[in-house]
Structure 1
Amino acid sequence: MTFKKVLSFFLTGATALSMTTAALAADDTPIMLPADVASQDWYAPAVRYVMEYDLMDVGHPENGAPVFEPSRTVSRQEVADAIYRAARCLSTKFAGEPSLEGISKMADYADVGQSYPSAMAFCYNHGIMTGSDKKLNPGAAITRQEFAAVLQRTMKLFAENGLAEIVPGDGMAVYEFSDSRSIQNWAISSVSFCIKNHLMQGDNRNAFNPLGNVNRAQVAKALSNIAAAAKK
């Protein structure tokens, strides 16, 4: 998948019009789902989307078929990587390499994985993921209410750059969930924002599960929802 086709999905105007038919045709290979994702799975379209635009990596076990690991819990740095890739696909405004100066001063900077410094720096520099107690906690799992805050900050960044239209959350949307009392006060506005903007939703038991860890299927779905909210 070339960067040109990525832009063709998100952008309008001269950039998209400059693409040739031959370039599009060369990239129109159907995206096959990994071995561990069935076409009827609720997250299958989202997995196909993130694979098409190279927003998340697919595993390639030795002597085995490619796998997505949809139920695997993601780390904070993996979420940062997905957000970073989505931003760069959304606009050339984010094409520049982010400065590492800010995160390099964090106490656990050395714990950032080899593939993730730029992604962590992007999210840190834009106030999307700033850590706590002078730590980035790159390898820690991220809860659903924390993920909601990340998505809210991401969408606000996109909106400020004229790349997305958002609906403000009023805090009331959270009370539709059976476990609304489990959502911490600091996360209420973020969860409400994500519900209002169709970025996240509850489970089939009408619970949001705010303290549950986010898995790869949920990240893929959120990224596809971001694309739906972006201006095209």
Structure 2
Amino acid sequence: MKNITRILSAALALCLLAALCLPARADGTQDCGAKLLAITFDDGPGKYTGALLDGLAERGVHATFFVNGVNASGWPETLKRIVNEGHQLANHTYNHKNLNTCSAQTVAYEISAVQALITAAGGDENAYIRAPYGNANKTVKSVVTAPLIYWSVDPEDWKYRNAETVRSNIEAGVFDGAIILVHDIYKTSVDGALAAIDDLLAEGYEFVTVQDLLLRRGVTPEAATVYYSAKNNGINLPADAVGEQAFDESRIEMHWGYAAMKTCLDYGWMTLTDTGEWKPNAFVARAEFAADLARFAGIHTLYPLEGAARFSDVDLTAEDAPYLAWAADSGIVAGYDDGTFRPEKTLTREQMAVMLARYYARSGVTTQGSLDFADAAKISGWAVDGVSVCVGLGLVQGDPRGRFLPQSRLTRAQIASILVRMAG
């Protein structure tokens, strides 16, 4: 049902977005401008998978895990963690056999045995499949009832066992829409993959699950069909159109953040999107948060624009320009060394904390709390004091595992909750 629901949601999103006039390219196609990658991990879980999940969480990255039954059966809690942290759990057969040499009955067992483990962990009821060695003949395809996911980037991490080689091989092969193959049973693979992710994030790539990669590129996954990649062929949907960020707004009152968002909308601290939607699960950009904070502070759109002019990439005719000018004049935002503000760049938790600390510093509030987070060492040096202030004021807290997740992104609903806390 989960797969079916997400596919139907994506199909509906395609129709709605056409009507809502997404930014269009010259040829009339719809393109949100995102560069997408799906990184996948095979043969686990194993003793390095926990560290990998920690690293992905710190970076706000989602991945797809193609698990083997012989390994997965011994790591049930890790399987649940994969699902609970927003990753895609997928099927790599039970014994990692060459399915081309197996009978239909054996193929069915190899797949169904792993599917049972995935279902027990809360994963998709008809999980995507990756046949070992990429071997899937007619017999295999006659049995499978889910899409077959192959790859377009293979760093041969199983062969080299060297983190730097894995890193460079991944980066040498990637392209927009690529599916990357790595194995989380090797420490060198985990280290190399995380290093490559850091570099590729800096280049503007966004990491998504295979399922979301296909859906955001307008591909309706079909059973027994092989997919190697999902290039941008004209449909390039934003994150909040599919997957975890999508939400049926006819049920908005059922969303956990509804009360906080309604309060913020009623007081004018937040606004609906340009298309008149709540988008509670949409990630917040830097400019959007600055505008929310400015409206919370009572700043009007007539505020002088000079402060925003210091940023080379801020459109002074944009609706948020007066709010950015106020934030700059107030010392709440400073921009980057190259003179840009990067208004559309997604806000991270540590960036938000610094902006809030500067906001309160204007009133002489510098209360600091103890950074007892399990990942406190991951907080950037420039953000430590800001996070401490937000902890002291009770504005932020850790996740169920006691982590702050400084590089994770924030949704509109989460920002609304913080503004309500600020209002007391």
Q: TM-score, normalised by structure 1?
A: 0.68
Q: Aligned-pair distance for 1:59?
A: 4.1
Q: Distance in 2 between matches of 1:226 and 1:219?
A: 11
Q: Distance in 1 between matches of 2:274 and 2:345?
A: 23
CA shift digits 1:93-117 (9 cap, x unpaired): x55833222321322133x672111
User: 1:84 is aligned with what amino acid?
Assistant: A
Aligned to 2:286: 76
CA shift digits 1:44-71 (9 cap, x unpaired): 331121022121112485xxxx642122
The structure-2 alpha-carbon separation of the partners of 1:75 and 1:113, relative to structure 1 and needing over 3 Å to count, comes to farther
**Percent of aligned pairs with the same amino acid:** 26
Q: Aligned-pair distance for 1:227?
A: 0.5
Stretches (4+) displaced over 4 A: none
Tell which has more relative contact order, 1 or 2 (C-alpha 8 A, sep 6+).
1
Q: Distance in 2 between matches of 1:185 and 1:141?
A: 20
Aligned to 1:142: 347
Where 1:37 maps in the other structure, the secondary structure is helix
Q: Distance in 1 between matches of 2:274 and 2:331?
A: 33
User: 1:192 is aligned with what amino acid?
Assistant: S
Instruction: Say what the alpha-carbon RMSD is for the aligned residues.
Output: 2.2
Q: Distance in 1 between matches of 2:407 and 2:320?
A: 25
Q: Aligned-pair distance for 1:217?
A: 1.3
From 343, 368, 378, the counterpart of 1:169: 368
Correspondence 1:127 to 2:312: no
Q: Distance in 2 between matches of 1:100 and 1:60?
A: 22
Contact 2:307 2:326 in 1 (8 A): no
CA shift digits 1:141-188 (9 cap, x unpaired): 11100000011111222x25xxxxx45215xx21x2121111112111
Q: Distance in 2 between matches of 1:60 and 1:147?
A: 23
Contact 2:284 2:347 in 1 (8 A): yes
User: 1:57 is aligned with what amino acid?
Assistant: T
Aligned to 2:252: 37
Q: Distance in 2 between matches of 1:217 and 1:189?
A: 25
User: 2:355 is aligned with what amino acid?
Assistant: V
The structure-2 alpha-carbon separation of the partners of 1:222 and 1:179, relative to structure 1 and needing over 3 Å to count, comes to same
Q: TM-score, normalised by structure 2?
A: 0.38
Q: Distance in 2 between matches of 1:67 and 1:101?
A: 31
Q: Aligned-pair distance for 1:207?
A: 1.3
Q: Distance in 2 between matches of 1:99 and 1:57?
A: 21
The structure-2 alpha-carbon separation of the partners of 1:40 and 1:68, relative to structure 1 and needing over 3 Å to count, comes to closer
Aligned to 1:49: 263
The structure-2 alpha-carbon separation of the partners of 1:38 and 1:182, relative to structure 1 and needing over 3 Å to count, comes to farther
The structure-2 alpha-carbon separation of the partners of 1:209 and 1:38, relative to structure 1 and needing over 3 Å to count, comes to farther
Q: Distance in 1 between matches of 2:349 and 2:374?
A: 15
User: 1:109 is aligned with what amino acid?
Assistant: V
Q: Distance in 2 between matches of 1:183 and 1:36?
A: 36
- 5 Å-filtered alignment, 1:1-232, equals 35-39=250-254, 41=256, 43-59=257-273, 67-88=277-298, 94=299, 97-110=302-315, 114-133=318-337, 134-157=339-362, 159-160=363-364, 166=365, 168-169=367-368, 173-174=370-371, 176-228=372-424
User: 1:202 is aligned with what amino acid?
Assistant: G
Contact 1:36 1:68 in 2 (8 A): no
Q: Aligned-pair distance for 1:197?
A: 0.2
CA shift digits 1:77-102 (9 cap, x unpaired): 101110111000xxxxx558332223
User: 2:351 is aligned with what amino acid?
Assistant: E
Q: Distance in 1 between matches of 2:378 and 2:280?
A: 25
Where 1:181 maps in the other structure, the secondary structure is helix
The structure-2 alpha-carbon separation of the partners of 1:202 and 1:37, relative to structure 1 and needing over 3 Å to count, comes to farther
Higher strand share: 2
Q: Distance in 1 between matches of 2:301 and 2:286?
A: 22
Q: Aligned-pair distance for 1:132?
A: 1.3
Q: Which has the larger radius of gyration?
A: 2
Where 2:252 maps in the other structure, the secondary structure is coil
Q: Extract unaligned runs of 5+ from structure 2.
A: 1-248
Q: Distance in 2 between matches of 1:60 and 1:35?
A: 18
